[in-house]
Amino acid sequence: MSVKSIFSKTALLKLAIILPSFILLTVSCSNDDNDNGGNGKEEINLNKNEITTDKAVTRLEFPRLKGGNSIVLIYRTKGDKQYDKDEINYCVEWDCSKKSQRWSCYQMHQGYTGNYSRVTDSYHNDTNLDSEYYWAEDYYYGSGYEHGHICPNADRKFSYDANYQTFYMTNMQPQYHKFNGYTNSGQDQGEGLWVRMEDQVRSWTPRAKTDTLYVCKGGTIDNEDQIISRIQGKLIVPKYFFMACLLKNSEGYRAIGFWAEQKKDEWRTDDPLSLYAVTIDRLEELTGIDFFCNLPDDTENKVESSIAIKAWGLK
């Protein structure tokens, strides 16, 4: 049953719709909340997401939510509860006016590994989202752009459903082949910069059961100077793509960002990824997004202000 068949368009942006593997919600952001972490020390957090309908928005992978005409899509599927009691696959901030996603966020740990890979070669509209808020046609085909996964199917191999959900159009952004793809034939050989970044982030998946990598990725849709074009005057093509990563392990927290312009005619296969590494503070300046807002302010300020390139294994 679709959301549209239950609620009016006005109600859609005000209410939470809870379905077997999907949640749509609106949420406001706090500006004056304090949190006691249970260790006797008051932990101040002035910018964390405020729970209105689903506590998932307080998970560490979430940035601060934009609100307005943007909604949050939370995709759930059965998984290993010893790793994730919420059984969340990944989440999306969707701009209903632009009919485009701003980011996908998710966790990486051993609970997401498995053998399911690219279980479909087609791309699907999320039928639980009101059809008023997505394009009726798939404008990617014939446009010169590929369906670029933001949460990669290779990061969600633990079940058929989890892998299938990554093929929703709400998880896609238009990307050039030489940014998003690869080839091993002919003279024009290479591997796209985005693919290399995805491989690098995947390699950071913690092996310890208690450790987690928190990831938020997307393309720029909010500023005209950060947009290449609109396919048929409709579907936004981001000029820049970003990744924000936060690792929690026995040593504490550390964070790193990636920022890259997508280019049509360059593989950039030999570029060191360190060329595209930035602090989270810098990434926030470039995107206007407040990443990892659910961390206590002291911790957030510390991990977002610097990066340790060698600690991340970059050259």
**H or E element, residue 73:** strand 70-76
Residue 149 designated active-site: yes
Asked whether 229 and 120 are in contact (CB, 8 A), the reply is: no
Q: Which residue has the tokens 């039928």?
A: 127
Cα–Cα distance measured from residue 241 to residue 243, given in angstroms and rounded to the nearest whole number: 7
Q: Cβ distance 152 to 181 under 8 Å? A: no
Six token digits for residue 4: 């549209």
Work out whether strand 172-175 and strand 235-238 pair parallel, antiparallel, or are unpaired.
unpaired
Q: Tell me how far apart the alpha carbons of residues 281 and 107 are, in angstroms, rounded to a whole number.
A: 21
Alpha helices in 166-251 (DSSP H): 177-180, 193-203
- ∠ CA 307-273-226, rounded to 5°: 90
Report in angstroms the alpha-carbon separations of 173 from 13, 46, 100, 142, 246: 23, 32, 8, 15, 23
User: Out of 124, 147, 149, 177, which one is annotated catalytic?
Assistant: 149
CA distance 100 to 222: 10
**In contact, 33 and 50? CB cutoff 8 Å:** yes
Give backbone dihedrals phi and psi of 77, rounded to 5 degrees, phi first.
-160, 155
The answer to the question of whether 249 is labelled as a binding residue is no
Sequence ranges of the binding site: 180
Catalytic residue IDs: 149
* Residues flagged as binding site for Mg(2+): 180
